[in-house]
Amino acid sequence: MCGIVGVSNHKEAAKIAFLGLYALQHRGEEASGIASYDGKNFHLSKSQGLVADNFNEHTLKGLKGKIAIGHTRYSTTGSSNPKNIQPFLVTHKKKPIAVSHNGNLTNTEELYRRLEEEGSIFQTTMDSELVIHLLAKTKNGDLKGWLINSLSQLQGAFSLVLLIGDTLVGVRDPQGFRPLCLGKLGDAYILASESCALDSIKAQFIREIAPGEIILLKGGLAESFFLPHDPNKNKSYCIFENIYFARPDSNIFNDNVYQVRKRLGAELAREHPVQADFVMPIPDSGNYAALGYAQELNLPLEMGIVRHHYIGRTFIQPTQFLREFSVRIKLNPIGRVLEGKKIIVVEDSIVRGTTSRSRIEELRKAGAKEIHMRISCPPIRFPCFYGIDFPSRKELIASNKTVKEIADFIKVDSLEYLSLEGMLKVVKDSKDFCHACFNGEYPVSIPKNKSKYLLEGGQKK
């Protein structure tokens, strides 16, 4: 999962891109970068680390031009290596081409082999670089035909922002796995993964980029067309965006994330009520489901844990060591609230189970008498190949244990998950959501080599 942003026709495009990336920091914390073009030269600044740490007034001043794209990274293909930081930028026929990509391609290995045999030399180990090579290899004609011929070779999940000379291009794959929206700020157009990025710069939300759509933005003008696809085919919006990844103040997939999470919590309460002294969330991702759960059962809602806000998102840390370290210092239980109480803990999901186990242990130490855990999505039993970093079943606790065994492992008095039917009941156009991580029904063919490091000699799993 990554955050992408693009700015066209703004005199301070790089600064606007920075502010957009800052609002999208939750989508990736490993690295960030911005590329801009001033009509003659391209400029690039990228580094490992958080957006606020990587850019300052001096670096932003050097990113000249009225067009810019940005990226904040959460690696799903390729390791956490400086060479894999985006935007990825090259010069082709004396013009800059840069790409920022959110998602995962499923035909990476086939494209890589073919392009390498045709003479391509790769500089990174991420699937996003393939976009540049396809553009360079495909016969140039008019921009529209060039983009369609190049990008129609991609399979899987891809929301893209491209800088091609003085034109900003936004692309969303035909299944619409990852969100991408369009906004306007004066005479400038803005592309962003989520609408919260538009809100942060006071841009007007226009609409979501449609699945399969390519939009060209140049000099305050917009033109759009579509990749070849069947418009009657169901889409594949990622349900996990609503459950965990997207910010609650964002509007994605024709709905508001905050309201979806509340509805998930209310449905969870209807399916799995329990008597207790109060409901409490695991902050912050469980907050809104817990609110919906508590309101549905007319139970008090308490914040029994205080979050250390200078620690990043635990699940998207790149290694288990960092995840466990973050858990220990990220959340601190409030003993005087918890002591002697029967509590209902609401969490958005359980992926590996190790963080949940640590959190429950801390709640026990703080004096909780009974702990009943409720999860606002079904058990995650299958890997994702469309942009979420749980790529093998052995990493997923629900793939190897029953609900009772998971409850025993994390040491709760009871554990219940929202049903698949209940989850789909609360989202709009439920037929258009991908839920392969829950039931293994993949809407797009999955890769033969399932390793995150397939371009680094990773073995098939």
Model pLDDT for residues 234-268, shown as the tens digit of each residue: 999 999 999 999 999 999 999 999 999 999 999 99
Q: Quick one: pLDDT band at residue 206, thresholds 50, 70, 90?
A: very high
For residue 35, list its beta bridge partners: 44, 69
Can you read off the two tokens belonging to residue 141?
């004609």
pLDDT of residue 389: 81
Q: What is the H or E stretch that residue 421 is in?
A: helix 420-425
For residue 228, count other CB atoms closer than 10 A to its CB. Answer: 8
Inter-CA distances, 208 with 171, 264, 420, 446, 453, Å: 11, 23, 26, 26, 32
Whether the per-residue pLDDT at 321 is higher than 80: the answer is no
Mean pLDDT over each residue of the chain, to the nearest integer: 92
* Average pLDDT value for residue range 432-441: 96
Q: For helices 354-365 and 403-410, give the axis angle rounded to 10 degrees.
A: 50
- 407-434: average pLDDT: 97
Give the residue-averaged pLDDT of 439-448: 92
User: Greater confidence, 312 or 390?
Assistant: 390
Least confident among 16-25, 93-102, 422-431, 438-447: 93-102
| SS3 (DSSP) at 407 | helix
Known catalytic membership, residue 2 = yes
What pLDDT, on a 0 to 100 scale, did the predictor assign at position 409?
98
Predicted confidence (pLDDT) at residue 325 exceeds the cutoff of 70: no
The pLDDT, as a whole number, for residue 314 is 54
Neighbouring-strand partners of residue 5: 70, 192
> What pLDDT, in 10s, does the model give residues 46-85?
999 999 999 999 999 999 999 999 999 988 776 778 899 9
Q: Report in angstroms the alpha-carbon separations of 181 from 72, 190, 256, 315.
A: 16, 8, 13, 25
Q: Containing H/E element for 329? A: helix 320-330
Q: Say which residues have a Cβ less than 8 Å from residue 319's Cβ, sequence separation at least 6.
A: none
Options 2, 196, 377, 437, the catalytic residue: 2
Q: What percent of the chain has pLDDT over 70?
A: 94
pLDDT at residue 213 in the model: 97
Does pLDDT of 341 surpass 50? yes
Q: Is the pLDDT of residue 149 over 70?
A: yes
pLDDT at 23 over 70: yes
Task: Select the more confidently predicted residue: 428 or 81.
Answer: 428
Q: Is 90 exceeded by the pLDDT of residue 417?
A: yes
By 3-state DSSP, what share of the chain in percent is helix, strand and coil, each rounded to 5?
Answer: 35, 25, 40
For the beta carbon of residue 197, count every other beta carbon within 10 angstroms: 29
What CA–CA distance (Å, rounded) separates 160 from 299?
44
Give tens-digit pLDDT for 218-230: 988 889 999 998 8
If pLDDT is split at 50, 70 and 90, which confidence band does 316 have? low
- If one counts every other C-beta atom within 10 angstroms of the C-beta of residue 132, the result is 22
Q: Is 246 helix (H, G, I), strand (E, B) or coil?
A: coil
Residues 240, 149: Cα–Cα separation, whole Å? 31
pLDDT of residue 137: 86
| Predicted structure pTM score | 0.92
Sorting pLDDT into bands at 50, 70 and 90, what band is 286?
A: very high
First CA to last CA distance, the chain: 21
Structure tokens at 104: 């995962």
Residue 318, pLDDT score:
57
pLDDT band at residue 294, thresholds of 50, 70 and 90?
very high
Confidence of residue 144 (pLDDT cuts 50, 70, 90): very high
pLDDT of residue 78: 67
Cα-Cα-Cα-Cα torsion 437, 230, 180, 317, nearest 10 degrees, comes to 20
DSSP string, 8-71: ES-TTHHHHHHHHHHHTGGG--SEEEEEEE-SS-EEEEEEES-HHHH--HHHHHHS-SSEEEEE
Where are the domains positioned within the chain? 3-236, 258-433
List helix spans (H) across 140-222: 143-151, 195-200
Per cent of the chain over pLDDT 90 is 80
| β-strand partners of 214 | 171, 225
Tell me, what's the pLDDT at 459?
Answer: 47
pLDDT of residue 231: 78
> Does the pLDDT of residue 319 top 70, yes or no?
no
Q: Which residue is associated with the tokens 């606007």?
A: 16
Whether the bond between 127 and the residue before it is cis, its omega within 30 degrees of 0, is no
CATH superfamily of 3-236: Aminohydrolase, N-terminal nucleophile (Ntn) domain (3.60.20.10)
Which residue, among 120, 199, 102, has the nearest Cα to 158 in the 3D structure?
A: 102
Distance CA 230, CA 233 (A): 6
The CATH number given to 258-433 is: 3.40.50.2020
What residues does 91 pair with on adjacent strands? 96
- The confidence band for 461, taking pLDDT boundaries of 50, 70 and 90, is very low
Residue 107 has pLDDT above 60, yes or no: yes
Q: How far is the C-alpha of 246 from the C-alpha of 2, rounded, in Å?
A: 11
Lowest mean pLDDT among 1-5, 9-13, 19-23, 377-381: 1-5
